[in-house]
Structure 1
């Protein structure tokens, strides 16, 4: 996992990063995972109006990245906009809240062959909230927390249905840039069309938590069951409302139901601290992969939304220790001329 920082306008942030990669001889369009089919290109073109309406800034960032790389921005948009609507990955996410604690945890399970490409990124771009996030790609993000103490994380669901809109990674990023509370994130998810099938788990510092099970035609909001303090998501839909829209029978979703059930067992009937939350992510029932198969938990992260703290294991958390990443607020303050906007929702 490598680390990058983004500031200035969206266009400037993208341009600087694209140029920095090019100076090191790194060109995104030459990566083996980059080529996209004409079907995906056509789908991405259909999504473009939604990006123009709901997230025009990201179009400027993509244009900047492409210019910095000496590439065609349409190629980059085709790759990014069709992610999750065609590809498939694996992850587990939970959120927990009680009177003293609020947190969101996520394991990202993916291919070990691409570990050198995974990125942790700090963003403090003009007109948006600063955030710390992680991604297996670029521009889109898969989990993160912003300076308000609002955290969000996605899980993929088999793309049985597609629609023109924003995909899961772009929705997570939009939440982190534009929202301060879980309530605002819920409003955004209900308003913005989804291109892919996915879940997005959200937690803020006040203890407001939910899972949104999202598809192009339907969205179901899952709250903690009576007597429980948590919500869980994996690589399928588990609510009654969305159950028939998830992965087809027999599809290899890396034991999504088993991971979902194990996370629920680990969280049930307990009062948890952020340290306990890290222990949940490190449980072998959630991350017990054999790396020789080419798959593993490639990072794990615990967002302490009550206190605005981030703990990340850059590798499988059963083997790699969590370390605190405390750069978000100082980075945001530096880019704003020394103003530290700790506007966490816990206040």
Structure 2
């Protein structure tokens, strides 16, 4: 996993990174693990006005990357804006637990082993006063899949196979804008409801004040379950809230989504009152049921795992499958 520190305006950050990659002989377009299609380019163009209105800073960062790489930004729009919509990946598991002694958000990121050396942990600090500093983890540079910002808002996603598409923001870009623009779960929910969404997904969110919720959404509906006192919330790559069950889509290969969900649901139902950091690590490592036990020969694996401790304001990350590798505290990013 690469570790990157970004500081400056969005455009400056993008251009510096694009130039650095080019200087080291790396072209982003050569790392794309799927075929680029005309449909992706067209969808990127359709989504562009949404990002320009609701998150113009990300356009600036992407343009900076393109300038540094000396490539057409339209290619990056096509890749990034079609992620989780035309590029339909169904993976990852997440949970929140809250009890007398612990308040934790945990997540496994499951993806392709072929590009696991390209995955990144990013520390962002911006010159723009309305963008908050954050630490995030990603498989696709500017979009984020889990992270925490300077105010202690932590968010993690799972992707859900969509039953329909329309131009809008994908779940990875939505997560990033929430980290940049929101201090609390309440603010994040307000943003999510008004953002045009292109497909479907789930988010678990928690903040240092003690608020937490699970959100399941499509491009035309948002449902959520709040966690006010003790309890737990969990998500994989399907819908389980009563309002959203009718929107489930069955696919042939969902990376064992229901089996992973049942592992989380069964263990946390019985044990959430005593779960702490150690038990969370064991859960994510698959010690209480299937969660990360992929056959790497198939090209799939858990490629990182993260735990955000909202009580102690600490971040732990395992850079690889937690069944085989260990968690380390990341002390580089400080939560206020």
Alignment TM class, shorter chain as reference: over 0.9
Question: Segments of 4+ in structure 1 off by > 6 A?
Answer: none
Number of the residue aligned with 1:93: 94
**Residue 149 of structure 1, CA deviation:** 1.1
Q: Would the aligned equivalents of 2:8 and 2:125 in 1 still touch at CA under 8 Å?
A: yes
1:303 aligns with 2:305: no
Measured on the aligned residues, the alpha-carbon RMSD in Å equals 1.6
- 2:25 equivalent in structure 1: 25
Following superposition, the deviation at residue 31 of structure 1 comes to 2.2
| Range 308-317 or range 261-270, more displaced | 261-270
Matched, 1:13 2:18: no
Distance 1:57 1:144 in 2: 18
Contact in 2 for aligned 1:146/1:176 (Cα 8 Å): yes
Alignment counterpart, residue 243 of structure 2, candidates 237, 241, 244: 241
In the other structure, the counterpart of 1:139 is 142
Number of residues of Structure 1 aligned to a counterpart in Structure 2: 329
Contact 1:8 1:124 survives alignment (8 Å):
yes
Q: CA deviation at 1:228?
A: 5.9
Structure-2 separation of matches of 1:237 and 1:17: 37
Distance 1:172 1:227, change over 3 A: closer
Kept in 2, the 8 Å contact 1:143–1:172? The answer is yes
Q: Secondary structure at the match of 1:90?
A: coil
2:60 maps to what in 1? 60
For structure 1, which segment, 281-290 or 1-10, has the greater mean C-alpha deviation from structure 2 after superposition? 281-290
Residue 329 of structure 2 corresponds to residue 324 of structure 1: yes
- Separation of aligned partners in 2, 1:228 and 1:204: 15
Which region of structure 1 is more displaced relative to structure 2, 12-21 or 125-134?
125-134
Alignment partner, residue 339 of structure 1: none
Q: Once the 2 structures are TM-superposed, how far is the Cα of residue 146 of structure 1 from its aligned partner? A: 0.9
The 3 A distance-change label for structure 1 pair 85 and 3 is: same
Q: Which residue of the partner structure matches residue 332 of structure 1?
A: none
Q: What is the CA–CA distance in structure 2 between the aligned matches of 1:257 and 1:35, rounded to whole Å? A: 28
The runs of 5 or more residues in structure 1 that have no matched partner are: 330-341
Distance across 1 between alignment mates of 2:255 and 2:226: 25
C-alpha distance in 2 between matches for 1:286 and 1:223: 24
Identify the residue that residue 230 of structure 1 maps to in structure 2.
232
Displacement after TM superposition at 1:221 (Å): 0.6
Counterpart contact for 1:204–1:306, Cα < 8 Å: no
- The whole-number CA distance in structure 2 between the counterparts of 1:179 and 1:100 is 26
Q: Deviations over 1:306-338 (max 9, x none)?
A: 222110001110110000001013xxxxxxxxx
Q: Does 1:287 align with 2:292?
A: yes
Q: C-alpha distance in 2, partners of 1:257/1:265?
A: 12
C-alpha displacement of 1:286:
0.8
Per-residue CA distance 1:6-53 (angstroms, 9 max, x = gap): 110000000000000001100011224265211121112111121111
TM-score normalised by length of structure 1: 0.91
| TM-score of the two chains, using structure 2 as the length reference | 0.94
Q: CA offsets, 1:256-296, max 9 Å, x none?
A: 11111111122224322223222221124111112122111
Which deviations, in whole Å up to 9, do the C-alpha atoms of 1:174-224 show, x marking residues without a partner?
111111111111111111111121111101112211111111111111234
Greater shift after overlay, 24-33 or 145-154?
24-33
Q: Distance in 2 between matches of 1:78 and 1:24?
A: 24
What's the counterpart of residue 181 of structure 2?
A: 178
In 2, Cα distance between equivalents of 1:46 and 1:141: 21
2:99, 2:230 within 8 Å by CA — same for their partners in 1? Answer: no
* Counterpart-to-counterpart distance in 1, 2:32 and 2:204: 30
Task: Give, in angstroms, the shift of residue 235 of structure 1.
Answer: 0.6
Task: Tell me the SS of whatever aligns to 1:84.
Answer: coil
Distance 1:58 1:283 in 2: 36
CA gap of 1:15–1:34, structure 2 versus 1, over 3 A, is: farther
Query: What are the ranges of 5 or more consecutive residues in structure 2 without an aligned counterpart?
Result: none
